[in-house]
Amino acid sequence: MANKSVLNVFFEGLKIYSLNIHKFILYMSFPVLGQILGIYLIFGSNYWFTNNLHNLSMKFPAFNNMSTMILLVVLAAVPGFVILLKAFWEFLVAYGALNSMTDGYLNTGKVYDFKSHKQVVLNRSFSFIALWMLFGIFTFISIIPIFWVIGAILFVYFVLIFQIFTFESGLSPVGYFKRSFNIIKGNFVRTFMLIVLLFILTYLILPAGLSVIFDYLNWTANLSSAFEAWAFTLPIEPVEKFGVTPSVIGNLITSQFVFIIMAGFTLPLRSICFTLWYSNLAEPVEVQKPKKSRKQSKQAKTFKIEKREIDPEIIRRARLEDDEY
């Protein structure tokens, strides 16, 4: 029985996030900043080779060979790709680990033992990857203009799939979507309201606030200039007549840079709120196995989709002092 209002869940989630913000920022630092660093290394190395190719070819004849040059460019980008992929994977894992952390906090009053909460996801990596693949396909279809409305509606119904993955047993990747649909059914409007509140706070208000800080520190202008210089190396002459100039590209990338940082570091807030919402709505579901015959119908069994209990070892560690573990 759903007994908490949307505002209660929203402010309770905001309270948990605010009280432990230093821990969540530390946890999300590599998943968020690592992706930015990886992209910087990939494009930075390409930018450096582009600007220094003439001098390099003058000093080192090997650079006059196209195959050698391409090989060196690829090798220079490898560290960036490794960091990017590692950070991206950690960011995906956070979608499950943060739910487990919230459950741990509700049981112990602490945010702790990040490795153990990540293990909740890593122990079922195959199922988790399959879930992300299905969600990726759904997202790809939803961005097609004719599917925007349908995609937006289904997104509300599927918003709890990662909570269900974290807390429930006995489901297939498709089953996570079905279970989320059944939980949200009858609570669509309230769930939509929660999504809107989180969207406004984490995708509009907080990024705007961070932009003000960047402007005050003069970081916005410096970043825009750096991205503009990189944009000059791009073959954008055919589209400049449409207003796509290096300056526009630099400003756009900078604004996206600020948005990505804030959206990434507030992922814990969204996960906390949706975990609380899941706990508010979800109830064990009794499912009857299909009958094969009249004789077998007498022996038909039922089973429940059970909620996973938090690992007792995690609770034990939470009782330790912070400087002990």
The DSSP output letter for 112 is -
- 318-to-24, 116, 117, 301, 312 alpha-carbon distances in Å: 16, 11, 12, 39, 10
**What's at 29, amino acid-wise?**
S
Rounded to the nearest 10 degrees, what angle do helices 125-142 and 66-108 cross at? 110
Q: Which residue did the predictor score with more confidence, 170 or 127?
A: 127
pLDDT in tens, 199-231: 999 999 999 999 999 999 999 999 999 888 888
pLDDT tens-place string over residues 126-137: 999 999 999 999
DSSP, collapsed to helix, strand or coil, labels residue 128 as helix
Top pLDDT among 73 and 288 is at 73
Mean pLDDT across 238-261 = 89
Higher pLDDT, 170 or 220: 220
Q: Which residue has the higher pLDDT, 323 or 307?
A: 307
pLDDT digits (tens, 9 = 90+) for 83-126: 999 999 999 999 999 999 999 999 888 888 888 899 999 999 99
Q: Cα–Cα distance between 18 and 200 in angstroms, integer?
A: 17
Residue pair 184/118 in contact by the 8 Å Cβ criterion:
no
Nearest by Cα to 91 from 261, 253, 226: 261
Residues 6+ apart with CB under 8 A from 13: 269, 272, 273, 276
* pLDDT recorded at residue 325: 36
Residues 6+ apart with CB under 8 A from 224: 247, 250, 251, 253, 254
Of 223-227, 275-279, 285-289, the poorest mean pLDDT is in 285-289
Residue 49 reports pLDDT greater than 50: yes
Position 2 scores a pLDDT of 57
Q: Write the CB contacts of 14 (distance below 8 Å, at least 6 apart in sequence).
A: 269, 273
pLDDT, position 300: 45
Helix and strand totals (H; E) in the chain? 15, 2
pLDDT tens string 295-315: 444 444 444 555 655 555 555
Q: And the tokens for 223?
A: 């970043």
The Cα 146–Cα 151 span in angstroms is 9
pLDDT tens-digit map of 180-190: 999 999 999 99
